[in-house]
Structure 1
Amino acid sequence: MEQEIRPPHVALIVGVTGMAGLSLAEALKKPTALGGPWKVFGTARRPKPSWFPSSIVDGYISFDAINSDDTKDKLSPISSEVTHIFWVAIQVRESEEANVSINEIMLANVLNVLKSAPSSPLSHITLQTGTQHYMGPVHDQVLSGQLVPHDPPFREELPRLPYPNFYYALEDLIASYSPSLTYSIHRASIIIGASSRSVYNALLTLAAYATICRSEGTPFRYPGTRYTWEHFCDMSDARVLAEQHIWAAVSSKAKNQAFNCTSGDVFTWKSLWKVLCEIFDVEFVPFDETEKFDFWGDDEGQGKSLG
Structure 2
Amino acid sequence: MAQNLVLIAGATGQIGASVARHVMDRSGWDLVGLSRRVQQHVPCPMLAVDLLDAEDCRRKLGGMQGVTHVVYAARYDHAGGELESVDINLQMLSNLLTAVKDRPDLRHIHVVHGTKYYGHNAGPGPVPYRENAPRSPRPVFYYAQQDFLIQQQGGQAWDWSISRPHTFCDLVLDEPRSITLLVAIYASMLKELGLPLRFPGTQLAFKSRTQFTWLPMLARSIEWMITDRTCANQAFNVVNGDAERWSALWPAIADYFDMACGDPEPERLARFPESHSDIWCDMVSLHGLRPSELSTVAQWAYGDYVFSPEWDVVSSMDKAREHGLTESIDTRQMWRDSFDFYRSHKIIP
Q: How many residues align?
A: 275
Distance 1:126 1:29 in 2: 18
Offset at residue 69 of structure 1 (A):
4.1
- Could you list the runs of 5+ residues in structure 2 that have no partner in the other structure? 273-300, 310-349
Distance 1:24 1:211 in 2: 31
Which residue of structure 2 lines up, in the alignment, with residue 264 of structure 1? 241
Which residue of structure 2 lines up, in the alignment, with residue 11 of structure 1? 6
Helix, strand or coil at the partner of 2:20: helix
Residues 108-153 of structure 1 deviation map (CA, whole Å, 9 limit, x = unaligned): 121122236xx443231111111111125x2xxxxx4xx4x21311
RMSD: 2.9
- Residue 182 of structure 1 contacts residue 255 of structure 1 at CA under 8 Å; is this kept in 2? yes
- Which of 178, 187, 190 matches 1:210? 187
- Residue 84 of structure 2 contacts residue 140 of structure 2 at CA under 8 Å; is this kept in 1? no
Offset at residue 189 of structure 1 (A):
1.9
- Alignment of 1:169 with 2:144, yes or no, is yes
What TM-score does the superposition give when structure 1 sets the normalisation length?
0.78
Which residue of structure 1 lines up, in the alignment, with residue 262 of structure 2? 285
Which residue of structure 1 lines up, in the alignment, with residue 118 of structure 2? 134
Distance 1:166 1:294 in 2: 28
Supply the AA of the counterpart residue of 1:13.
I
Distance 1:176 1:198 in 2: 36
The percentage of aligned residue pairs carrying the same residue is 28
Offset at residue 198 of structure 1 (A):
3.9
- Which of 29, 39, 50 matches 1:38? 29
Which residue of structure 1 lines up, in the alignment, with residue 101 of structure 2? 115
- Residue 73 of structure 2 contacts residue 112 of structure 2 at CA under 8 Å; is this kept in 1? yes
Offset at residue 282 of structure 1 (A):
4.6
Distance 2:222 2:214 in 1: 13
Offset at residue 211 of structure 1 (A):
3.1
Residues 167-208 of structure 1 deviation map (CA, whole Å, 9 limit, x = unaligned): 111111211211314111111122111333445422122223
Which residue of structure 2 lines up, in the alignment, with residue 141 of structure 1? none
Offset at residue 281 of structure 1 (A):
4.6
Helix, strand or coil at the partner of 2:110: strand
Offset at residue 93 of structure 1 (A):
2.6
- Alignment of 1:222 with 2:169, yes or no, is no
Distance 1:225 1:184 in 2: 37
Which residue of structure 1 lines up, in the alignment, with residue 210 of structure 2? 233
CA gap 1:49/1:111 in 2 versus in 1, 3 angstroms: same
Helix, strand or coil at the partner of 1:47: coil
- Residue 2 of structure 2 contacts residue 29 of structure 2 at CA under 8 Å; is this kept in 1? no
Which residue of structure 1 lines up, in the alignment, with residue 48 of structure 2? 62
- Could you list the runs of 5+ residues in structure 1 that have no partner in the other structure? 1-5, 139-143
Which residue of structure 2 lines up, in the alignment, with residue 156 of structure 1? 131
CA gap 1:80/1:230 in 2 versus in 1, 3 angstroms: same
Supply the AA of the counterpart residue of 2:92.
M
- Residue 9 of structure 1 contacts residue 38 of structure 1 at CA under 8 Å; is this kept in 2? yes
Helix, strand or coil at the partner of 1:286: strand
Which residue of structure 2 lines up, in the alignment, with residue 93 of structure 1? 78
Helix, strand or coil at the partner of 1:93: coil
CA gap 1:235/1:40 in 2 versus in 1, 3 angstroms: same
- Residue 162 of structure 2 contacts residue 236 of structure 2 at CA under 8 Å; is this kept in 1? yes
What TM-score does the superposition give when structure 2 sets the normalisation length?
0.69
Offset at residue 275 of structure 1 (A):
2.5
Which residue of structure 2 lines up, in the alignment, with residue 29 of structure 1? 24
